[in-house]
Amino acid sequence: MPKIGMKPIRREALVNAAIFEIGRVGTLDVTVSQIAKQAGVSSALAHHYMGGKDEIFVAAMRHILTIYRLEIQGALALSTTPRERVEAIIRSSFSKQNFRPDIVSAWLNFYVKANASAPTKRLLTVYHKRILSNLTYSLRPLVGDNAPKIASGIAAMIDGFYLQLALKNKPTNKDTLVHLIIEYLDMSIERNAIKNDI
Amino acid sequence: MPKIGMKPIRREALVNAAIFEIGRVGTLDVTVSQIAKQAGVSSALAHHYMGGKDEIFVAAMRHILTIYRLEIQGALALSTTPRERVEAIIRSSFSKQNFRPDIVSAWLNFYVKANASAPTKRLLTVYHKRILSNLTYSLRPLVGDNAPKIASGIAAMIDGFYLQLALKNKPTNKDTLVHLIIEYLDMSIERNAIKNDI
Amino acid sequence: MPKIGMKPIRREALVNAAIFEIGRVGTLDVTVSQIAKQAGVSSALAHHYMGGKDEIFVAAMRHILTIYRLEIQGALALSTTPRERVEAIIRSSFSKQNFRPDIVSAWLNFYVKANASAPTKRLLTVYHKRILSNLTYSLRPLVGDNAPKIASGIAAMIDGFYLQLALKNKPTNKDTLVHLIIEYLDMSIERNAIKNDI
Amino acid sequence: MPKIGMKPIRREALVNAAIFEIGRVGTLDVTVSQIAKQAGVSSALAHHYMGGKDEIFVAAMRHILTIYRLEIQGALALSTTPRERVEAIIRSSFSKQNFRPDIVSAWLNFYVKANASAPTKRLLTVYHKRILSNLTYSLRPLVGDNAPKIASGIAAMIDGFYLQLALKNKPTNKDTLVHLIIEYLDMSIERNAIKNDI
DNA sequence: AATGAATGAGGATTCATTCAT
DNA sequence: GATGAATGAATCCTCATTCAT
């Protein structure tokens, strides 16, 4: 049984602390010291284990995306029909885990910052393509060749609601948002079905 | 001939420079010196006319919102039917002016930063409410009591596409996006119309 | 009748403004702009007429000393006996004019700053020597060879009270201070007279 | 052996450096960098340990006052009669420690600056009251109800001599000054004693 | 494994001063 | 005679990062 080093422990603590602090401040204007303190370690240690501020951010982004991915995968595993799969992706985006204010805040900050950070950009691009691909794949049996378009529309709605949430203080009802998107999905299926019939 | 004051000239130049620089860097991590240099003045002058970095940002945000508002107002003035009005708002959001990469980038950055800046938040909240109110008002004759919901969906799609655009380098075809949103609009009207019929 | 230029008018206004502002702030940390605004002119004009910030300060110091000197001269002119002359100097130091809070504040600031400003130092040294010389000259008939010592003591008391005044907010009763110094004078004369008798 | 913290060491060095630099320049127009360099550290470290420029100044003032207080306390401990106590206070004010040119310079600068700095003002007010209280208490057995007045006169003389010293380059003979003040004390006692006799 | 100590680099801001009009 | 316009030079302060222990 190999003795487990402190590295993974510290890294996890620091990543969580980073997300927490970004959520608290609402911005990426967070100092390494703040993050380290929140993680209960010295800033020197943060550098030691994470390499630097940018790496902390990338790790945090990666962490958020991983959570997201796992949650979607789990939901997909329980889905059988294409319709269920699409709904699973939508619902996962507003799951308890992904919907935490600090997660949303960090997410958006990284999203925007991606413009100026190559690694973050890569990460997000990969994630975005995967989501779109997942959506498109599941949508194709339902809407045929319109799948890419509608997948893009659903993704936009999800992102858009995230963005709006960052602006509001009052906790929004997730169900309302989910229903709205699913309505869009239903209408798209319906319209397409009709067209296909003809 | 009264000697014209430089203040408005400089302020405009600085605001434009700020937007340009934010777009160039992709982040609000822009120094006053960079903005000033881009505007062709010293950083001291930037402070003199703008008051400080935060004020520059707020002025830039205000500027963007004003452009937006004027463009929507202009488009609304040319619209007669409710349907046209809704479309006008959607199209305005992707007009040449509002769609400039640097504008979109600055916009998103401010959007996210609003979390940590009271004045920016106020500004955005006002703007957001106005758009929603406009949309809802025009939608009501078309979809009845579902107007708020659908307005919210349209707004989310607009914001979501903006967000996605920040991530892509390749120029996106605006028409595709506009069509997608209008399709959502059409489907919503259609479905609602059916319900009303019954 | 030569047309009088603006120079003396502006200079006087600026010097008064400088004293006022120093008194208001309590420190020499006053900007040229503040002084200029208080004088009702632009800061550029202040430089034009005064030459620079240091020159403004020197002129202000000179102004204060001139007021002081004139007041003492006037009081001395009305005095006939040595005793009266000494009292005149003491009283003049606490006259309405010299005792204005802003004057005292400016005075002390310059006094301390003299350490770092050659012109101010010269000015103060000259003034100080003159006061001491005046005091000593008038004291000699009263206390003989102890005149320099006692002159120095009286001067110290005057300066010391000024210093203390800068620290207090509540307006101090000048008479109390004057009496205290005159008491010192009286005792010195008395003691010396006795000694001389023997 | 616990690793000793650098904080107290650095703070002391910085406070001493501040006093030194103020004395050298003759003004509070000293940059943090100058002080830091004189202390042998970076300006960043100065901020780290002291908090900021104002805190440096307050700490320096506090340091000077502490030296002063301790010296007076020590001298008072060796005194038995009221007369000795008063003399002890006077002599302490001109002790080798308190009489260093840079100390005097810093002292005066703070004294004047107190007008514009609440913490400094508090500090000085407390100190001033203590000195006066000490003097008054010891004087009462000697001069009765005139104690407050005479205490105030002695304090003024001390402060006044300090002020004058800031203006002179040549080292002044402390003994002369001390004698002068003590003479004032003696005369006051004598006169009062006579009055009491009657 | 962990941290206190330390700093270089950089950024916002202020201000005396100059100049063209 | 007067000023708005403009800036270079400082200065305070912060922070990511390094290093010795």
Reported confidence tier of residue C102, pLDDT bands at 50, 70, 90: very high
Q: Please tell me the distance from the alpha carbon of residue D185 to that of residue D173, in angstroms, as a whole number.
A: 19
In a domain, D138, yes or no: yes
CB-nearest to B157 from A125, A156, A166 is A156
Q: Is the pLDDT of residue C194 over 90?
A: no
- Longest Cα separation, chain B: 70
Q: How confident is the model at residue C1 (pLDDT cuts 50, 70, 90)?
A: very low
Q: Is residue B10 part of a domain?
A: no
Q: Taking residues C21-29, what's their average pLDDT?
A: 96
- Please, what is the average pLDDT of chain C? 92
Beta-carbon neighbour count of residue C141 at 10 Å? 13
Q: In terms of CA atoms, which chain A residue is nearest residue B190?
A: A187
Q: Which of the pair, D42 or D195, is modelled with greater confidence?
A: D42
Instruction: Determine, yes or no, domain membership for D5.
Output: no
Which of residues 13 to 42 on A have a Cβ less than 7 angstroms from any strand F atom? 30-33
Burial code (b: 16+ CB inside 10 Å, e: under 16) for A24-53 equals ebbbbebebebbbebbebebeebeebbeeb
Give Cα D16 to chain centroid, integer Å: 15
Given phi > 0 = left and psi -120 to 50 = alpha, else beta, which region is D5?
A: beta
Q: Are D150 and C95 in contact (CB under 8 A)?
A: no
CB contact under 8 A, B180 and A149: yes
Of the candidates B124, B149, B167, the beta carbon closest to that of A124 is on B167
Euclidean distance between CA atoms C104 and C93, whole angstroms: 10
Tell me how close the Cα of C61 comes to any Cα of chain D, in angstroms.
Answer: 15
**Range A72-76 average pLDDT:** 95
User: Which amino acid would we find at residue A31?
Assistant: T
pLDDT band per the 50, 70, 90 thresholds, residue A198: very low
- What's the structural domain count of chain D? 1
CA dihedral sign of residues D161, D162, D165, D167: negative
What does the block give as tokens for B114?
């609003």
Selecting from C116, C161, C191 the residue whose C-beta is nearest the C-beta of D26 gives C116
Distance between CA B7 and CA B46 in Å, rounded?
A: 10
Q: Does A158 contact B155 at a Cβ distance shorter than 8 Å?
A: no
Q: Hey, is A81 helix, strand or coil?
A: coil
Assess if residue D70 is contained within a domain: yes
- pLDDT per position as a tens digit, D93-145: 999 988 899 999 999 999 999 989 999 999 999 999 999 999 999 999 999 99
**Positions 26-55 in B, CB within 7 angstroms of strand F:** 41-45, 48
pLDDT at B131: 93
What are the helix (H) ranges across C26-52?
Answer: 32-39, 43-50
Residues 6+ apart with CB under 8 A from A188: A143, A146, A150, A153, B187
- Banded pLDDT at A132 (limits 50, 70, 90): very high
In the numeric block, the tokens 């319109």 are attached to A146
pLDDT at A98 over 90: no
C1 assigned to some structural domain:
no
The whole-angstrom distance between residue A103's C-alpha and the CA centroid of its chain comes to: 8
Distance B4 CA to F5 C1' (A): 12
Q: Determine the average pLDDT of the residues in C19-34.
A: 97
Name the residue of chain D whose CA is nearest to C180's CA.
D153
Confidence bin at C172 (pLDDT 50/70/90): confident
In a domain, B31, yes or no: no
**Alpha carbon of C166: minimum distance to chain D alpha carbons (Å):** 7
B31 nearest nt, CA–C1': E11
Please write down the long-range contacts of B62-68, taking CB distance under 8 Å and 24 or more positions apart.
Answer: B62/B123, B63/B15, B63/B16, B63/B19, B64/B19, B64/B103, B64/B106, B64/B107, B64/B110, B65/B123, B65/B124, B65/B127, B67/B97, B67/B98, B67/B103, B68/B92, B68/B93, B68/B98, B68/B127
Task: Please identify every stretch of chain B with a pLDDT value under 50, giving residue numbers as ranges.
Answer: 1-3, 198
Q: Which residue of B has its CA nearest to A159?
A: B160
Helix H or strand E encompassing B174: helix B174-197
Q: What are the chain A neighbours of B114 within 8 Å (beta carbons)?
A: 166-167
- Using C1' positions and the CA of B5, the closest nucleotide is F4
Q: Which domain holds residue D167?
A: 57-197
Label residue A174 by pLDDT band (50, 70, 90). Answer: confident
Nucleic chain F: which protein residues 12-31 of D have CB below 7 A from it? Answer: 30-31
Q: Which two tokens stand for residue D168?
A: 């002179």
Å: D41 CA to E6 C1': 8
Is B122 inside any structural domain?
A: yes
Whether D41 is covered by a domain: the verdict is no
Chain C neighbours, 3+ Cβ pairs < 8 A = D
Cβ neighbours for D156, distance < 8 A, ≥ 6 positions apart:
C156, C157, C160, C161, C163, C164, C180
- What CATH number corresponds to the domain at position D168? 1.10.357.10
Q: pLDDT digits over D60-74, tens only? A: 999 999 999 999 999
**Percent of chain D at pLDDT exceeding 70:** 94
Residues C136-171: tens digit of each pLDDT: 999 999 999 999 999 999 999 999 999 988 777 666
**Measured in angstroms, what separates residue B49's CA from nucleotide E16's C1'?**
18
pLDDT at B1: 35
Whether the beta carbon of C31 falls within 7 A of nucleic chain F: the reply is: no
pLDDT at residue number C3: 53
Q: Could you tell me the pLDDT band of residue A172, with boundaries at 50, 70 and 90?
A: confident
Average pLDDT over residues C55-74: 96
